[in-house]
Amino acid sequence: MLATLPCHVRWIDRRDAAFPPADALAGIGNLAIDARDEPADAVDAAPPHTYFVVMTHDHALDFVLAERILRRGDYAYFGMIGSPP
């Protein structure tokens, strides 16, 4: 859905298997895939006024990311989904 909007999407995940095959993403020009061991580092590297949406599989990681984003204080938006532990 975000691929249809005028925004740049950076999909960050430390699980390589979470990403679909490259051919399934062909033609989505506003999507960047970022496989990294420490997703929180991407929070620190993001430019000011970034829109953050946290949707992980790990409550501990959710907490780390939320804390990093909130400490920045210069984000344009921060949204998060959650589930019972």
Q: Is 45 exposed, middle or buried (0-12, 13-18, 19+ CB in 10 A)?
A: exposed
- What span, in angstroms and rounded, lies between the C-alpha atoms of 15 and 10? 15
pLDDT digit string (tens) for 20-42?
888 888 888 898 888 888 999 99
Which pTM value belongs to this model? 0.83
Residue 5 has what pLDDT?
A: 82
In this model, does residue 62 exceed pLDDT 90? yes
Which one-letter amino acid corresponds to residue 81? Answer: I
